[in-house]
Chain A
Amino acid sequence: MIELAIKYLNGELTPEQKEHFLSLVSEDEALKEELIKYHHLLAYVSLLPLNKDQDKTERKFLELLNEIDRKKEKDKNG
């Protein structure tokens, strides 16, 4: 069952398998708890910084500055 949970979390289930898995989860509290543990595991794994983060973060920061400028301009013009 854990194999299914892992495939679910990795987006690897077919629509039919996903439907079946979610129905199992809704009927089995222990499976749901286990799934949530693995979900938390992924959340912790996502915390690690990546090399490729830098470029994207810089690009998004520039977008943010542009957005703020546009907002300021809009406020100024009333």
Chain B
Amino acid sequence: MNKDFSNIYMTFYPQLVRFATVFVVYEEDAENIVQDLFVGLWERNESFNSIENINAYMFKLAKNKCLDFLKHKMVKEKFIAKAQLQYEQEIALKTQSLEGFNAELASEEKVEKIVSKAIDSLPPKCKEIFILSRYEGLKYKEISEKLNISVNTVETQMCIAFKKLRHSIQQLLD
């Protein structure tokens, strides 16, 4: 290993980690940032002799690395917050749906007959696609490949199935 590089590392590593920790909060992150900085230096095989003010140079590198880290973290946190918000919205929606669901009615024998009859009365292709989706758990793309039809056709048939079923079991949904 280049002696200059070892000396620079031994001199600056602890200082740069402490400096980075002030801005990125977690020491572990700061250590990774500084380590990454030195990996970059090593890869670029820079000659330190040509650098006029090595102190300023190293801290500038650390500053830029910390800025990259914080910008990346901000994007990530925004994404997580958005996902969390969406998750909460879906839970609220499902809770509202479940609260309004008549579980007593669901246990009645006639319900099974009504639903079964409604599915049986779907047009054959429509029924096949609906069953593959809802009972076999296939995605639209998988259905389209299995039946050699377009995804658009699957989508259209699923819409038809839902609308027809909605009409057929209307009495259960009111």
Contacts and interface: CB of A to CB of B under 8 A. Distances in A.
Interface string A1-25: 0110011001110000011001001
Contacts of A50: 135
Interface in B143-171: 155, 158-159, 162-163, 165-166, 169
Interface in A1-60: 2-3, 6-7, 10-12, 18-19, 22, 25-26, 32, 35-50
B100 interface: yes
Contacts of B86: 18-19, 22
Interface residues of B, number: 31
Interface in B87-118: 89-90, 93-94, 96-97, 100-101, 106, 111-112, 115-116
B173 interface: yes
A10 B159 contact: no
Contacts of B173: 37, 40-41
Given A44-B106, A44-B111, A12 B163 contact: no
B172 interface: yes
A43 to B, nearest CB: 6
Which of A19, A36, A45, A46 has most chain B Cβ within 10 Å? A45
A10 B97 CA distance: 16
B35 interface: no
A38 B134 CA distance: 13
Interface of B: 82, 86, 89-90, 93-94, 96-97, 100-101, 106, 111-112, 115-116, 119, 133-135, 139-140, 155, 158-159, 162-163, 165-166, 169, 172-173
25 contacts: A2-B163, A3-B155, A6-B158, A7-B155, A11-B139, A22-B89, A25-B89, A35-B93, A37-B173, A38-B166, A40-B97, A40-B172, A40-B173, A41-B166, A41-B173, A42-B134, A43-B106, A44-B106, A44-B115, A44-B169, A45-B115, A45-B134, A48-B112, A48-B116, A49-B112
